[in-house]
Structure 1
Amino acid sequence: MKAKSSNTASVRQNSLYAWLLAARPKTLAGAAVPVMMGLTLAWAYLYRLNQQACGVDAMGTSVETGTLSWVPAILCVLFAFIMQIDANFINDYFDWKKGTDDEHRLGPRRACAQGWVTPKAMRCAIAVTTLIACVVGFPLVFYGGYDLIWVGVACVVFCFLYTLLLSYIGLGDLLVLVFFGLVPVCVTFYIQTHTLTKEVILSSLACGMVIDTLLVVNNYRDRDNDRRVGKRTLVVIIGEKATEILYFALGLMAFHMGLTFFFQGQYFTFFLPTIYLMLHARTYRKMKAIKRGKALNGILAENARNMFIYGVLFSVGVVLDALFIS
Structure 2
Amino acid sequence: MSKIVNESMEYAREALHAESTSDMLKNNTRKNGETKREQEPAALMKLKTYLLALRPWSLSGSLMPTLLGTAIAHRSGSTYDFNILIFLLTIFCVVTVHCAGNVVNTYFDFVKGIDNRKSDDRTLVDHILSKDEVVSLGALLYLAGCVGFVFLAILSPAKMEHLALVYFGGLSSSFLYTGGIGFKYIALGDVLILIIFGPLSVLFAFMGQTGHVDWSTIYYAIPLAMNTEAILHSNNTRDAENDKKAGIVTVAILIGRTASHVLYALLLFTPYSVFVVLAVKYSVWFLLPLVTLPQAFQIEKQFRNETTMQGVPRQTARLNFFFGILYVVALCCARTLPVTSLRK
TM-score (norm: length of structure 1): 0.82
1:286 aligns with 2:302: yes
> Could you say what secondary structure the match of 1:273 adopts?
helix
1:16 aligns with 2:51: no
Structure 1: how far apart are the matches of 2:326 and 2:147? 32
Q: C-alpha offsets along residues 178-226 of structure 1, whole Å, 9 cap, x if unaligned?
A: 000011112211222324263x211212211110100111111101111
Change in CA separation of 1:156 and 1:176 when aligned onto 2, cut-off 3 Å: same
Structure 2: how far apart are the matches of 1:26 and 1:42? 27
Aligned pair count reads: 292
Q: In the alignment, which of 295, 307, 316 is matched to residue 303 of structure 1?
A: 316
Structure 2: how far apart are the matches of 1:89 and 1:14? 18
Q: In the alignment, which of 25, 32, 41 is matched to residue 63 of structure 2?
A: 32
1:273 aligns with 2:304: no
Q: Give the letter aligned to residue 97 of structure 1.
A: V
Instruction: Indicate if the aligned counterparts of 1:36 and 1:315 stay in contact, CA closer than 8 A.
Output: yes
Identify the residue that residue 268 of structure 2 maps to in structure 1. 251
Q: How does 1:34-53 map to 2 (within 5 A)?
A: 34-45=65-76, 49=77
CA displacement at 1:247 relative to structure 2: 0.6
Change in CA separation of 1:256 and 1:185 when aligned onto 2, cut-off 3 Å: farther
CA displacement at 1:152 relative to structure 2: 2.0
CA displacement at 1:12 relative to structure 2: 9.0
Structure 2: how far apart are the matches of 1:112 and 1:14? 16
Q: Give the letter aligned to residue 284 of structure 1.
A: E
CA displacement at 1:229 relative to structure 2: 0.8
Instruction: Indicate if the aligned counterparts of 1:13 and 1:116 stay in contact, CA closer than 8 A.
Output: no
Identify the residue that residue 83 of structure 1 maps to in structure 2. 97
CA displacement at 1:24 relative to structure 2: 1.6
> Could you say what secondary structure the match of 1:15 adopts?
helix
CA displacement at 1:14 relative to structure 2: 8.8
Structure 1: how far apart are the matches of 2:289 and 2:100? 30
1:155 aligns with 2:170: yes
Change in CA separation of 1:226 and 1:13 when aligned onto 2, cut-off 3 Å: farther
Q: Give the letter aligned to residue 166 of structure 2.
A: V
- Calculate percent identity across the aligned residue pairs: 26
Instruction: Indicate if the aligned counterparts of 1:13 and 1:117 stay in contact, CA closer than 8 A.
Output: no
Change in CA separation of 1:168 and 1:255 when aligned onto 2, cut-off 3 Å: same
Structure 2: how far apart are the matches of 1:232 and 1:206? 26
Identify the residue that residue 168 of structure 1 maps to in structure 2. 185
Which stretches of structure 1, 4 residues or longer, exceed 4 Å deviation after superposition?
Answer: 11-14, 322-326
Change in CA separation of 1:197 and 1:89 when aligned onto 2, cut-off 3 Å: closer
Instruction: Indicate if the aligned counterparts of 1:87 and 1:159 stay in contact, CA closer than 8 A.
Output: yes
The structure with more radius of gyration = 2
TM-score (norm: length of structure 2): 0.78
Q: C-alpha offsets along residues 23-54 of structure 1, whole Å, 9 cap, x if unaligned?
A: 12212222211111111222222xxx4xxxxx
Instruction: Indicate if the aligned counterparts of 2:167 and 2:204 stay in contact, CA closer than 8 A.
Output: no
Change in CA separation of 1:212 and 1:189 when aligned onto 2, cut-off 3 Å: same
CA displacement at 1:138 relative to structure 2: 2.8
RMSD: 2.5
Structure 2 unaligned spans of 5+ = 1-41, 338-342
